[in-house]
Amino acid sequence: MKFNTKVIHGGQHHDPSTGAVMPPVYQTSTFVQTSPGQPINPDYEYSRAANPTRSALENALASIENGTRGLAFSSGLAATDCVLRSFKSGDEIIAMDDLYGGTYRMFTRIYKDSGIKFHFVDMNDIEKFKSLINENTKLVWVETPTNPLMKLADIQEIAKITKEKKILFAVDNTFATPYLQKPLDLGADIVMHSATKYLGGHSDVIAGALIVKDEALGEQLHFQQFATGATLGPMDSFLVLRGIKTLHLRVERHCENGGKVVEFLNNHPKVKTVYYPGLPSHPYHEIAKKQMSGFGGMVSFTFVSGKKEDAIDFLEKLKVFTLAESLGGVESLANHPALMTHASIPEDKRKEVGITDDLVRLSVGIEDAEDLIEDLKQALA
């Protein structure tokens, strides 16, 4: 199947008992057994281990990312946590230097105390990246594009190194979505999504996902999910599955509107720098063209003045864009990373990677682009 068909039919089956076109919401915690240890359906004993609605979502996730196994979690951070539980004291992890604040917080404030050593590096400095690899290196963790600076990493080039060194390679594909980028096809071992964002697409659910190519790795991660319990409930699974069915249509419009917003901002006298991988001036534009089929709807920018007050004033004046955390919904959202999504990163670290106090991040929605541009224009006036 091609992608537009996959999001609707990939890995999906009509309900065998009723013929329902959409999977029912199996709002049950447990399942009948005919004899001790003999459930009616061998796949379902207890909903923490497996639930038919969650299974339908997980099959869809595997399909759209070209994986063998999908796993659905109670949040994106729960999915990340499941991967990190594979490692022990003394292990080392190399991560991108620009990360979602919650990921950075988990790495530096939760798992660092467990004896795991983290290295943060610009993944485009391949020599520096390679110099950090040693016999204790067990995982490479990358976001591409990154949150909020839209940095990119060459998945294929990194995968060549990790395969040679027999190191697991995980890619947070939240910003790009499987519609624009396929990390498993490019050589990654694990794909992570905050399914709260584009996969759900309607700002009405918190969810996370992992998708893998290797079946044994999928089984290991499922055991960790089952044993620790951060699974996605059936109603939330239904909502994400419903969102996936329109993913291709929504992301097309996000990309279209994102391009128009970027063009406006890039020519505005009060805007200093626009961060968007679709711009030829973007330092990693060529990587984006190589591994993405479109440039997405996430845009960040700074002010000529460099003042935090100008960013706050702009955000307070917006009328169509909503000032709120999160991204990837049908509505346009605006965010101040330093005070909101990335406040958990120490100020010196934020400045080191380029998250300045005047940086604004936009999640461009699927409204009429003309209305979005008029809103930006009046807020900048």
C-alpha–C-alpha distance, residues 6 and 4, integer Å? 6
Nearest to 192 by CA among 108, 111, 117, 81: 81
User: Which SS3 state, helix, strand or coil, does residue 198 take?
Assistant: coil
Q: DSSP characters for 39-68?
A: ESSTT-SBTTT--HHHHHHHHHHHHHTT-S
100 labelled catalytic: yes
C-alpha–C-alpha distance, residues 358 and 356, integer Å? 5
Catalytic site residue from 26, 44, 100, 111:
100
Catalytic site residue from 6, 197, 250, 350:
197
Alpha helices in 151-296 (DSSP H): 155-165, 177-180, 215-228, 234-244, 247-266, 285-291
What value does the CA radius of gyration of the chain take, rounded to a whole number of Å? 21
Query: Token digits for 324?
Result: 């709120």
Burial class, 326, CB count within 10 angstroms (exposed 0-12 / middle 13-18 / buried 19+): middle
Q: How far is CA 119 from the centre of its chain?
A: 21
- Specify the amino acid at residue 190: I
Nearest to 237 by CA among 27, 31, 83: 27
122 labelled catalytic: no
Bridge partners, residue 37, by sequence = none
104 labelled catalytic: no
Catalytic site residue from 81, 172, 310, 358:
172
Catalytic site residue from 15, 48, 290, 308:
48
C-alpha–C-alpha distance, residues 122 and 354, integer Å? 12
Instruction: With beta carbons less than 8 A apart as the criterion, state whether 361 and 299 touch.
Output: yes
113 labelled catalytic: no
C-alpha–C-alpha distance, residues 262 and 268, integer Å? 10
Which residues are the active-site residues?
Answer: 48, 100, 172, 197
